Chains A and B, each alone.
Chain A
Amino acid sequence: MSNEREFYWRRLHSLLGIIPVGLFLAQHLVVNHFATRGEEAFNSASHFMESLPFRLMLEIFVIYLPLMFHAFYGIYIAFTAKNNPKNFGTLRNYLFILQRFTGIFLVVFIAWHVFETRFQAAIGAKEVNFNMMEEILSNPWMLGFYIVGVISATFHLANGIWSFLVSWGITQSARSQQIATYVTLIIFLALSVVGVQALLAFV
């Protein structure tokens, strides 16, 4: 896939990871957090999201298409790297590797998550509500899978924001990149707390 247009594909990949995929993730985790206020609060929030006008269009253009491009081009990027943590055990090299591992894991996790929730609802087998998630997460393996999935996603987004800032030439100096590391670390921790709290509310 290496060709003259690679630069633009990479930039698009970097941009889509933040807008809209990253924004959607933050929104998704925040709406999930209604679960901590009880079943009724979660169901009414999820009902509000479901009854947004132009829902199908929003899903296709804000979620499915950008996410699929980011996922499939990301797999190609992940497999072009030849990792060397043994010889270069620096934080950035580990984050580079972790970004690729979480990316691959997220393709699997999100595919399963979409199948288990949206697809099952689309074929009319299930309804997306509090009970559905309660049922899924009553299995401790599934709860573990979901916690790892959410933390992978928040890490991938936070570290992705860091490399977005470098890839677009916003943070150039070593100092600005260092500060961006701290800021994205806070984003990672904050979103992880929001996401995991919501998951535990179903248990």
Chain B
Amino acid sequence: MVTATETKKVQFEILRQNTPESEPFWEKFEVNYRPNMNVISALMEIRQNPVNVDGQATTPVTWDMNCLEEVCGACSMVINGRPRQSCSALIDQLTQPIRLAPMKTFPVVRDLQVDRTRMFDSLKKVKAWVPIDGSYDLGEGPRMPERKRQWAYELSKCMTCGVCLEACPNVNSGSNFMGPAPLSQVRLFNAHPTGSMNKDERLNTIMGDGGLANCGNAQNCVVACPKGIPLTTSIAALNRDTTVQMFKDFFGSDRMVD
């Protein structure tokens, strides 16, 4: 079936970079339009035939991807100025030329692929888990009220995609701010009945280097988050928790959790 749509083209401008140290450069591509295309299927087209708009052969564009349904966070990149997942970025909803760039808040590995290690390091630093390992069976923990579980589920949707860090003006090469995502995880695990047994440790960590106090309340994170996590509410709630913790640490007679 030969129709007019088959000759329709999609214009791309991609910020490319060959090695972590080399200079980035823009390269233009043209891809045949197909209905229901997303940015990833377009990138796959370019990979099949890596020729730029001037007809010159080039290297295939590198990017990260995994789940293809906006739950893993791997395919995040800056699309037309906005950090988001390329799997859920539909061509029909984007203005052309579609400009793709890596999330430069993170070290660029190659082209659109970045290294999000710093986020996973932050999660380790704040102990974003419920510690239950021991040398004997600790038994069941306290029950969580169902309504609280539903509320906590929203915070647990975070996929460490890095979009909130890219959107934040205070996360950059000149600061070591860990960014909104790991902070919100502190709120999540401090709300868990078993996790709250270590809440003072997590609070003290985010009261340290690169922690909570670096937030400047520009509130871009909550606008950018693809999962709709109330990041700024989490930050404000942690501000209250750390205020209390600060006074407890100084005026309290001992260092009990509660």
Contact = CB atoms under 8 A, between A and B. Distances in A.
B236 A84 contact: no
Contacts of A167: 213, 215, 217, 239
Contacts of B216: 77, 81, 96, 163
Contact of A7 (B82, B176, B208): B208
Contacts of B236: 166, 169, 171-173, 177
A84 B240 CA distance: 28
A55 interface: no
Interface stretch (B3-11, B68-76, B218-226): B218-226
Contact of B218 (A2, A6, A96, A177): A96
B207 interface: yes
Interface string A148-172: 0000000000000011001111111
A80 interface: yes
A87 B218 CA distance: 13
B240 A169 contact: yes
Interface in A56-91: 77, 79-84, 86-88, 90
B217 to A, nearest CB: 5
B233 A92 contact: no
Size band of the interface chain A makes with B: 35 or more
A7 B232 CA distance: 18
Interface in A1-60: 2-4, 6-11
B242 interface: yes
Size band of the interface chain B makes with A: 35 or more
A171 B232 CA distance: 11
A173 B169 contact: no
A4 B208 contact: yes
Contacts of A166: 217, 232, 235-236, 239
A7 B207 contact: yes
B175 interface: yes
Given A82-B172, A93-B169, 15 more contacts: A6-B213, A7-B246, A77-B216, A80-B172, A87-B81, A90-B219, A96-B216, A97-B218, A163-B217, A167-B213, A168-B240, A169-B240, A170-B240, A172-B240, A177-B236
Per CB-CB distance, the 5 closest pairs between chain A and chain B, nearest first, are: A169-B240, A96-B218, A10-B213, A169-B239, A92-B219
Interface of A: 2-4, 6-11, 77, 79-84, 86-88, 90, 92-93, 96-97, 162-163, 166-174, 177
